């Protein structure tokens, strides 16, 4: 059995991550700076075409996410992509984009478009799960690994309508660390536009964020009682400790406007910022700065100054994406140097870095970016019978992964290896079938087309199996894969080098099991995060136990066993999982 090429169904969405290196011809354009806004956007400009991709924390596409902009709504396809036509823009060519999906935190992105007739965005959704449970009557403190804490006093919680609540409080708390590699993709708002108490518009430099949500055992939204306050603490990441001020403003995120609003302040106590808040949302400890606007165009000078579409450009703490014309626009703090970075790992092997000086307040700068020259490696994936075949391609230099590409609608791929080097190309699907070959690139900038690369079906992977008890289950065996369902088993094993974490997922139809843990290689792991979707319900655990007996390289297998207890999302029902075993195909890391 193998993956059929096109169109891919929802069960195979993970094979189709949108490439960040699509290229289109057009002229680069300049436009005026944007103040950041202080009111909900009044859309009367444009219209434009808005496209983009929605991904999870692991960078894989999310199908079925709901995207809203300018009163329109669309659902992402099996590739995690979306498109909206005739989207009106607000003053400064701003578009407010809202993205949501069950089991994830809603993300609102204030998109500063480059002023053309189109815009592109990538949005990362973070998982939403209960992290702590506290008694509303007694109060208590929830502490995250790393030192972030949220404390509520006794009797301080009410329902959304203001009525009293005395039961268990399920907290969902996330700390966003500025040191995290994908911090700029995770932050609410995206561009760090903010409004001070004097109604002046600024942009922020963040020392960390806390996202806090409360629910009852029945899934009702909860909030702090009027007149009550919560103490929250933000750990100051190591690289910021030397410059962190003793007092810093507190900011909460307003989803209606897509901007941060100043409300109170926090004081430094050692390497923590401590403040009090009267309601829960996303909170931020940030230094405000006047705005500098950066605009530019991303080009490929080695291919006739082609304009690079859909490439993530990170400047400081902000990441924006180039539109179809290769243009981008970003707001950054004044009086602070920043690094402009196009990461090769996210761009099929091509990238560049540029140091920007500190700019004075209120100005703008044009930073056109030319990617370094290099040969293009292209090809097409087919099955053994020559039919088009969907899959993924990774390239390695001296054993290190230096770029990945997914096949397009024609089952073709493009990568950009370093010139004159011999790289190992691995072509595989998500069922354990893999083809590897060594390819030597030219010394110059001439490309190389290797034609068809065949991936032949191998032996289907064994199913993932376990036994579940509790909440209506009585010693019930569960199997993901195999059987006679007619739906394919899709597995992915990823090691995230940046966060030093392994993610394992097995999916068949609507049943999915994910296990995430810190580490790599054989051994015993505790405090493993499990998310299980079964019979239309989701079960979550942060204390699953996993034993890895085999941890192969990319293109090989990860095998092991697991057991532990899970909780029904939004409820109190418990399930026990025993005798779990899995065989997962490793595709990345």
Tens-place pLDDT, residues 115-143:
889 999 999 999 888 889 999 999 999 99
> Mean of the pLDDT values across residues 236-241?
96
Residue 443 lies in a domain: yes
pLDDT at residue number 129: 83
pLDDT at residue number 16: 32
Residue 223: pLDDT band by 50, 70, 90 thresholds? very high
575 shares its domain with 512: yes
pLDDT at residue number 270: 96
pLDDT at residue number 486: 54
Task: Name every residue whose Cβ is closer than 8 Å to that of residue 34 and which is 6 or more positions away in sequence.
Answer: 91, 92, 93, 94, 112, 291, 293, 329, 331
Residue 314 lies in a domain: no
pLDDT at residue number 432: 57
419 shares its domain with 437: yes
137 shares its domain with 279: yes
Q: Which of 8-22, 23-37, 338-352 has the lowest mean pLDDT?
A: 8-22
Top pLDDT among 97 and 419 is at 97
Q: Which of 50-59, 93-102, 262-271 has the lowest mean pLDDT?
A: 50-59
pLDDT at residue number 34: 39
Residue 589: pLDDT band by 50, 70, 90 thresholds? low
419 shares its domain with 483: no
What is the value of pTM for the model shown?
A: 0.69
438 shares its domain with 523: no
| 392: containing domain | 377-455
What is the number of domains present in the chain?
Answer: 4
Is residue 61 pLDDT above 60, yes or no?
yes
Q: Name the token pair of 147.
A: 């030192």
**What letters, b where the CB count within 10 A reaches 16 and e where it falls short, cover 363-378?**
ebeebebebeebbbbe
Is residue 165 pLDDT above 70, yes or no?
yes
Identify the DSSP state of 387: -
pLDDT at residue number 3: 29
CATH of residue 183's domain is 2.60.220
CATH of residue 415's domain is 2.60.40.10
Looking at 254, 271, 289, the residue that finishes a domain is 289
Q: What share of the chain in percent tops pLDDT 70?
A: 88
Is the bond preceding 437 in cis, omega lying within 30 degrees of 0? no
Residue 352 lies in a domain: no
Residue 343 lies in a domain: no
pLDDT at residue number 6: 30
Distance between CA atoms of residues 527 and 565, nearest Å: 11
Looking at 126, 156, 174, the residue that finishes a domain is 126
Residue 527 lies in a domain: yes
Residue 488: pLDDT band by 50, 70, 90 thresholds? low
142 shares its domain with 76: no
Residue 255 lies in a domain: yes
CA distance to 127, 170, 283, 431, 527, per residue, from 530 (Å): 11, 17, 27, 22, 9
Is residue 581 pLDDT above 60, yes or no?
yes
Residue 67 lies in a domain: yes
Asked if 507 contacts 11 with a C-beta cutoff of 8 angstroms, the reply is yes
pLDDT at residue number 252: 96
74 shares its domain with 167: no
584 shares its domain with 486: yes
Top pLDDT among 443 and 302 is at 443
> Mean of the pLDDT values across residues 505-520?
88
Element (H, E) at 480: strand 473-480
145 shares its domain with 206: yes
Top pLDDT among 9 and 395 is at 395
Average pLDDT, the chain: 85
pLDDT at residue number 29: 38
Residue 587: pLDDT band by 50, 70, 90 thresholds? confident
pLDDT at residue number 21: 28
CA distance to 101, 202, 330, per residue, from 288 (Å): 32, 6, 16
Residue 338: pLDDT band by 50, 70, 90 thresholds? very high
Task: Name every residue whose Cβ is closer than 8 Å to that of residue 14 and which is 6 or more positions away in sequence.
Answer: 60, 61, 430, 490, 492, 505, 507
DSSP string, 134-147: EETTT-EEEE-TTS
Chain centroid, CA 14 distance in Å:
14
Q: Which of 67-71, 237-241, 275-279, 461-465 has the lowest mean pLDDT?
A: 461-465
pLDDT tens-place string over residues 349-396: 888 999 999 999 988 999 999 988 878 899 998 877 788 877 778 888
92 shares its domain with 207: no
Is residue 193 pLDDT above 90, yes or no?
yes
> Mean of the pLDDT values across residues 236-261?
95
Q: Name the token pair of 270.
A: 């050692």
111 shares its domain with 148: no
Distance between CA atoms of residues 325 and 306, nearest Å: 9
Residue 44: pLDDT band by 50, 70, 90 thresholds? low
pLDDT at residue number 498: 65
Looking at 255, 289, 323, the residue that finishes a domain is 289
Q: What share of the chain in percent tops pLDDT 90?
A: 53
pLDDT at residue number 9: 31
181 shares its domain with 264: yes
pLDDT at residue number 23: 24
pLDDT tens-place string over residues 269-298: 999 999 999 999 899 999 999 999 999 999
> Mean of the pLDDT values across residues 248-264?
95
Which segment, 22-36, 236-250, 305-319, is predicted with the most confidence on average? 236-250
Element (H, E) at 186: helix 183-186
Residue 151 lies in a domain: yes
């Amino acid at each position: 059995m193998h993956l059929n090429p096109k169109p891919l169904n929802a069960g195979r969405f993970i094979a189709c991550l949108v490439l960040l290196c699509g290229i289109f011809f057009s002229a680069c354009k300049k436009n005026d700076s944007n103040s950041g806004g202080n009111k909900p956007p009044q859309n009367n400009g444009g219209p434009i075409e808005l496209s983009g991709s929605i991904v999870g924390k692991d960078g894989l596409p999310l199908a079925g996410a709901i995207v809203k902009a300018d009163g329109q709504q669309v659902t992402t396809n099996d590739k995690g992509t979306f498109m909206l036509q005739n989207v009106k823009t607000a003053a400064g060519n701003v578009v407010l984009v809202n993205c949501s999906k069950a089991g994830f935190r809603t993300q609102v992105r204030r998109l500063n478009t480059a002023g053309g007739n189109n815009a592109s965005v990538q949005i990362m959704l973070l998982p939403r799960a209960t992290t702590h449970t506290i008694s509303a009557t007694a109060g208590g403190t929830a502490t995250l690994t790393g030192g972030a804490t949220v404390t509520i006093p006794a009797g301080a919680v009410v329902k959304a309508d203001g009525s009293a609540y005395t039961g268990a409080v399920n907290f969902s708390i996330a700390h966003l660390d500025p040191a995290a590699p994908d911090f700029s993709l995770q932050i609410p708002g995206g561009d760090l536009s903010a409004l001070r108490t004097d109604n002046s518009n600024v942009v922020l430099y963040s020392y960390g964020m806390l996202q806090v949500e409360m629910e009852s055992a029945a899934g009702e939204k909860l909030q702090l009682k009027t007149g009550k306050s919560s103490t929250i603490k933000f750990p100051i990441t190591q690289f910021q400790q030397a410059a962190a001020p003793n007092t810093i403003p507190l900011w909460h995120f307003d989803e209606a406007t897509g901007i941060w609003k100043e409300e109170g302040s926090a004081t430094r106590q050692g390497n923590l910022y401590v403040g009090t808040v009267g309601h829960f949302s996303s909170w931020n400890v940030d230094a405000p700065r006047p705005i500098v606007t950066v605009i530019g165009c991303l080009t490929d000078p080695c291919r006739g100054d082609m304009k690079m579409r859909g490439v993530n450009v990170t400047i400081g703490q902000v990441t924006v994406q180039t539109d179809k014309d290769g243009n981008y626009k970003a707001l950054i703090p004044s009086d602070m140097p920043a690094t402009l970075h196009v990461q090769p790992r996210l761009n099929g092997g091509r990238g560049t870095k540029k140091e920007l000086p500190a700019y004075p307040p209120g100005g703008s700068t044009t930073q056109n970016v030319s990617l370094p020259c290099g040969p293009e490696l292209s090809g097409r994936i087919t099955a053994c019978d020559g039919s088009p075949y969907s899959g993924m391609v990774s390239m390695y230099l001296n054993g290190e992964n230096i770029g990945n590409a997914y096949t397009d609608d024609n089952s073709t791929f493009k990568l950009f290896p370093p010139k004159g080097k011999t790289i190992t190309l691995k072509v595989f699907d998500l069922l354990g079938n893999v083809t590897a070959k060594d390819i030597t690139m030219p010394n110059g900038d001439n490309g190389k087309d290797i034609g068809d690369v065949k991936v032949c079906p191998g032996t289907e992977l064994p199913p993932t199996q376990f036994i579940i008890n509790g909440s209506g289950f009585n010693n019930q065996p569960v199997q993901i894969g195999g059987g006679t369902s007619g739906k394919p088993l899709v597995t992915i094993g990823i090691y995230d080098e940046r966060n030093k974490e392994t993610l394992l997922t097995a999916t068949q139809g609507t049943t999915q099991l994910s296990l995430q843990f810190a580490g790599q290689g054989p051994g015993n792991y505790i405090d493993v995060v499990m998310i299980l979707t079964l019979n239309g319900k989701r079960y979550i655990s942060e204390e699953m136990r996993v034993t890895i007996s085999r941890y192969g390289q990319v293109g090989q297998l990860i095998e092991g066993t697991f057991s532990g207890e899970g909780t029904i999302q939004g409820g109190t029902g418990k399930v026990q999982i025993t005798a779990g075993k899995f065989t997962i195909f490793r595709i990345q890391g």
